[in-house]
A and B are shown apart, each in its own frame.
Chain A
Amino acid sequence: MDIILYLIPITLFLGVLGLGAFLWALKSGQFEDLEGAARRILFDDDPPPE
C-alpha cells in the first residue's frame, strides 16, 4: 500500500494543474464568446494582402 504515498500526491498535482489551466483560460477571456469560438474555426485565416 506504500504506493499510494506516491500516487495520491501525483493525482493531486495533476488535478491542480488542470484547475490552474482552467482558471488561466477563464482569466484570459477564453470563455467570453463560446458561440463565436465555435464558428470561427470554419473560416480560414486569409493572409493580409501584400
Chain B
Amino acid sequence: MTAQVIKRQNASIFPSKTGAALADGEPAAAACRHCGAPLRPRDAGTGFCCKGCETAFGIVRGLGLDSYYRRRALNPVERALKPETDRPHEDFSAFVISEEDGSQRLHLMVEGIHCAACVWLIESALMRQPNVIAARVNMTTRRLVLSWHGSKSDANTLAAFVESLGYRLIPFDPDLMAGATAARERELLRAMAVAGFAAGNVMLLSVAVWSGFASTMGTATRELLYWFSALIALPAIVYSGWPFYRSAVGALRLGHANMDVPISLAVILASGMSLYETATGGRYAYFDAAVTLLFLLLIGRYLDARARSRARGTAERLVALSGTAATVEDPSGARRMLPPAQLKPGMIIVAMPGERIAADGTVREGTSDIDTSLITGETVPGSVTAGSRVFAGTLNLSGFLRIEVLGAGQATLLAEITRLMETAEQGRARYLAIADRVARIYIPAVHSLAATTFLVWFVALGAPWQAALLNAVAVLIVTCPCALALAVPVVQVVASSRLFGQGILLKSATALERLASIDTVVFDKTGTITDGQPVLIRDPATPPHILATAAALAGASRHPLAQALHRVLPQSKPPAGVTEIPGSGLRAQLAEGEIRLGSRRWCGIDAGGGASSGNQPELWFSEPNRPPVRFAFSDRIRSDARDVIADLAERGYTLEMLSGDRAPAAAAIAAAAGIERFRAGCMPADKTARLCELGEAGHRVLMVGDGLNDAPALAAAHVSMSPSSAAEISQTAADIVFQGSRLTPVLEAIDVARKAQRLVKQNFAVAILYNAAAVPLAMMGLITPLLAALAMSSSSLLVTINALRLARKAP
C-alpha cells in the first residue's frame, strides 16, 4: 500500500475530524510541527501543540533525521505522535532476554507507526544511541526487535527515548505471541514451495510424454521419463502431503472423515499405482496429477492460513494495546508498573484521574467519579469513596484513588462475566462449516463410486486387477476435490482481505458463513449505537455569557461531561486558580465571588429540588447571587447509525436493542436510531437469556456489542461483532472486530458475507458439474493423465477466477 492509498482509504472509511489537516505530509499552517495536530491559537507562535512535541522535534533535529518530516504521511487512524509526558513508565527490563554473547534483546510492540518513515525514524534514531547493535521494526506486525550491549536496565532508557518521540511501546514475550500459527504457516509455505518445484518439473517431463503419444516416442524413452518423474514426485509427495496426511489420520482416529481423507487417499493411491505402472512398463503414470493436486491445494491452504493469522494478529495487537499496566504501590511507598495478570489480592494499586482501573477492588483512600459505561452501559458516571467497590476496565475520572485488589476467587465482576461467557459458549451449537457439510456427502459418494468401478471391472467384466484398480484410481483422481477444496478458501481469502482493508477483522474461520445466514441483529446501546461520548443539549434559555463561563471552567476537568461542555467552546481557557473536588465538581474564585460547576449538591440544590431533573446526565453551574443553571447531556448516536439501521431494516432483518442503561435513556436512543424493539436495564445474564430465547425461537442472531457486560451475549449469539474500542474480553469473544468510529462496517460485513456465500455456492456448482462430466469417463476407463490434468487445472482456475469477482467493489 502506498501512502496515497492509505490516505484515500482513510478518507473514505474513517472520516476523522482532523483527517484533512493530518493527511498532508507537510503540516498545514495551524498544525503542530511534530504530531500534526491542529494548533490552538495561543500556540501558533511556537508551532507546537505541547512541550513534549517540541522536545521530540528537537531530538529528531539534533540527530540529523529531520528529513523524517518531509518523508512521512500521517495516518489519521493511527495514534497521534504526541509524547505522553505524564505517563508513568513501565519496567521493560523484566522482558529483556540475555543472549549467549552477552548482548541483550527486547521485543516490543509499537503503537503510532504511521508509515514507512516512522519505521525509518525509529530504527535510525535507535542506531545512533551508544551500544545499540540492531533495531529492526517489522512493519507488517508493528513489532520492534532491539538488541544492545550492556545491562538489562538500559531497556528503560532506550524505551523512554523512543517514547519521547511520541510512540508508545508495549513489551511482549515473543514465544507467547508467535505461537503455533506462525510455525504452521511456515510449514505450509515450505510444503507449497517443494510441491511447486516438483509440479513444474514433473509437468515438463509429462508434456514430453504426452506429445510422445502423438508421435513416435519409444517405450524406453517413456520409461526413462517416468522414472525421472517418480524421482522428483515421490519425495515431494511424502514431504508436501504431510499436512494433509496428518489431518486425515487425526480425523479418522476421531471416527469421522474430512476433506483431507479423499485427498490423501487419491494422492497416495495415484503415486503408488504410477510407481507400479512405471516398474512394470505400463502406459500411464499419474505423478503429474498427484503433485499438481498437492500444489494447488497447498496454495489454497496457505492463503487461508495467512489471511486468518493476519486478521487475528491485528486483533490481538489491538487488545494488547488497550490493555493498561497497573501502578502498584508497595507498603514502603515505592511504585512500580505491573501487567494486570500479575496482580495479587491485597496489593494496593493507585489510579490517577483519567486512567482505567486495572483490577477489581475496594477503594481504600480517595474520592472520585467512575465512568462505568464499558461495564454496565450506564452513561452517567457514579461517584465512589473509601469502601466502594470498583471494577476493572472502568475509567477513573476526577480524583486520585488507592485501591486494594480483590482476589480472583472472590466474586469479582470479571470472574462472573467469564463464567457466564463459558456457559454461553458451551450452549452454542458447534457450527459445521459448509465445506465440511459438503464433505460429509461427498466423501462416501466418491469412495463408493471408486469401489464400484473396481468391482465392475474386476468381477463383472473380468479385467485383470491392475487395470481395474487403475480405473478406480482414475475416479479418485478426477473427483479429487481440487475445485471443491479451493472453492471455499479462495473466497474466504478474497473476502477477508477486502474486509481487512476496511478495518474489519475476521477472527473466526466460519464467521462469514454464519454472518450470511442471520435474520436478526441485536445491538448494545452504549458504545455501539452511540459512540459513548456525551454531547450538550443546547438550551436556548441559557444566556450565552453563562455558557461561555461554564465552558471555560469545564476545560479544567477530565470528567466526560465537563469535557463535553468544554467542546462547545474549545478555544476558551479556564480561569486561573480552578480547583477540582473529586466526586463533586470544580470551583474558581473570581473577583465577583466563587463560581462552581458540578453535581446538583455541589451547587447547593437539594436532591429533589431545582429545575426538572429529567433522566439525562447533567451538570450544574452556579454564580454568586444568581440561580444555578442546569446543563443536560445526551449520549450521541454514531453519525451513521440511523442510516445503517434503516438499511438493515430494508434488507429484512429484525432489529433489537439491549441496554444496561435505564429505560428513558434507552428509549430515547432507540427512537433516535430508529429501532422499535428494545429492552432496558439488562444485566449481562438478561442479555444472554434474551439471545438464547431468540436462538431457541429459530432465529439466527448477529450480536453487536462492546461492553464487558456484552461479552457473554457475544458468545451466546450465532455470530458476533465488536468495535475495536470495546472491552478486551468482548473483543476476544467477538467473531469479528471492526475499527473506526462508524457503524457501516456491520452493513459491509453482512454484504460481503452474503456475496461470499453466493460465490461459494456457485463454485460448488462448478465443481459438481465438472465431476458429473468427468466421473463417467473415468469409470469407463477413458481418462488419460493428460485429460485429468486438463480438467483439474481448468476447474481450479474457474473457481479461483469466480472467487476473485468478490474483490471488485459494487459500483
Taking beta carbons and an 8 Å cutoff, which residues of A are in contact with B? 1, 4, 8, 11-12, 15-16, 18-19, 22-23, 26, 31-36, 39-40, 42-43, 46, 48-49
A26 & B193 in contact (Cβ 8 Å cutoff): yes
B190 & A26 in contact (Cβ 8 Å cutoff): yes
Residues of B within 8 A of A46 (CB): 64-65, 124
Residues of B within 8 A of A19 (CB): 193-194, 197
* 15 contacting pairs across A/B (C-beta < 8 A): A4-B221, A11-B201, A19-B193, A19-B197, A23-B193, A26-B190, A31-B189, A32-B140, A34-B140, A36-B116, A36-B137, A36-B138, A36-B139, A39-B139, A42-B116
In chain A, what residue has the closest Cβ to B141? A33
| Bound Cα distance A43, B201 (Å) | 39
A34 smallest CB distance to B (angstroms)? 7
Q: Return the CB mask of B56-93 against A: 1 if under 8 Å, else 0.
A: 00000001110000010000000000000000000000
Interface residues on B, range: 20 to 34
In chain A, what residue has the closest Cβ to B182? A32
Given pairs A22-B193, A36-B138, A49-B63, 10 additional interface contacts (CB within 8 A): A19-B197, A26-B186, A33-B141, A35-B139, A35-B140, A39-B119, A40-B116, A40-B119, A43-B116, A49-B128
Does any Cβ of A come within 8 Å of B120's Cβ? Answer: yes
Choose among A1, A15, A39, A42 the residue that contacts B197 (Cβ–Cβ < 8 A).
A15
In chain A, what residue has the closest Cβ to B201? A15
B201 & A12 in contact (Cβ 8 Å cutoff): yes
Shortest 8 CB-CB distances between A and B: which pairs? Answer: A36-B139, A39-B116, A33-B138, A19-B197, A43-B120, A35-B140, A35-B139, A33-B140
| Bound Cα distance A33, B141 (Å) | 8
B211 smallest CB distance to A (angstroms)? 13
B128 & A48 in contact (Cβ 8 Å cutoff): yes
Residues of A within 8 A of B197 (CB): 15-16, 18-19
Residues of A within 8 A of B115 (CB): 39
Does any Cβ of A come within 8 Å of B117's Cβ? Answer: yes
Which residues 204-221 of B sit at the A interface, judged by CB distance below 8 A?
204-205, 221
Residues of B within 8 A of A34 (CB): 140
Residues of A within 8 A of B71 (CB): 42-43
Interface of chain A, helix or strand or loop or mixed?
Answer: helix
B64 & A49 in contact (Cβ 8 Å cutoff): yes
Does any Cβ of A come within 8 Å of B461's Cβ? Answer: no
A-B contact count (CB 8 A): 63
Residues of B within 8 A of A40 (CB): 116, 119-120
In chain B, what residue has the closest Cβ to A32? B138
Which residues 403-427 of B sit at the A interface, judged by CB distance below 8 A?
none
Does any Cβ of A come within 8 Å of B276's Cβ? Answer: no
B227 smallest CB distance to A (angstroms)? 10
Does any Cβ of A come within 8 Å of B455's Cβ? Answer: no
Residues of A within 8 A of B190 (CB): 23, 26
Residues of A within 8 A of B232 (CB): 12
Does any Cβ of A come within 8 Å of B578's Cβ? Answer: no
In chain A, what residue has the closest Cβ to B236? A19
| Bound Cα distance A23, B140 (Å) | 21
In chain A, what residue has the closest Cβ to B1? A35
Does any Cβ of A come within 8 Å of B387's Cβ? Answer: no
B219 smallest CB distance to A (angstroms)? 13
Which residues 80-136 of B sit at the A interface, judged by CB distance below 8 A?
115-117, 119-120, 124, 127-128
A23 smallest CB distance to B (angstroms)? 6
| Bound Cα distance A32, B71 (Å) | 24
In chain B, what residue has the closest Cβ to A50? B128
B136 smallest CB distance to A (angstroms)? 9
Residues of B within 8 A of A33 (CB): 138-141
A36 & B221 in contact (Cβ 8 Å cutoff): no
B493 smallest CB distance to A (angstroms)? 16
B794 smallest CB distance to A (angstroms)? 25
| Bound Cα distance A36, B141 (Å) | 10
A43 & B189 in contact (Cβ 8 Å cutoff): no
| Bound Cα distance A8, B139 (Å) | 42
| Bound Cα distance A38, B203 (Å) | 33
In chain B, what residue has the closest Cβ to A37? B139
Known interface pairs A33-B138, A36-B138, A39-B139; A15-B119 also in contact (CB < 8 Å): no
Residues of B within 8 A of A15 (CB): 197, 200-201
B140 & A8 in contact (Cβ 8 Å cutoff): no
B666 smallest CB distance to A (angstroms)? 44
B71 smallest CB distance to A (angstroms)? 7
Known interface pairs A8-B205, A15-B200, A26-B193; A48-B127 also in contact (CB < 8 Å): yes
| Bound Cα distance A34, B189 (Å) | 14
Does any Cβ of A come within 8 Å of B465's Cβ? Answer: no
Choose among A1, A11, A35, A42 the residue that contacts B204 (Cβ–Cβ < 8 A).
A11
| Bound Cα distance A23, B120 (Å) | 28
Residues of A within 8 A of B224 (CB): 4
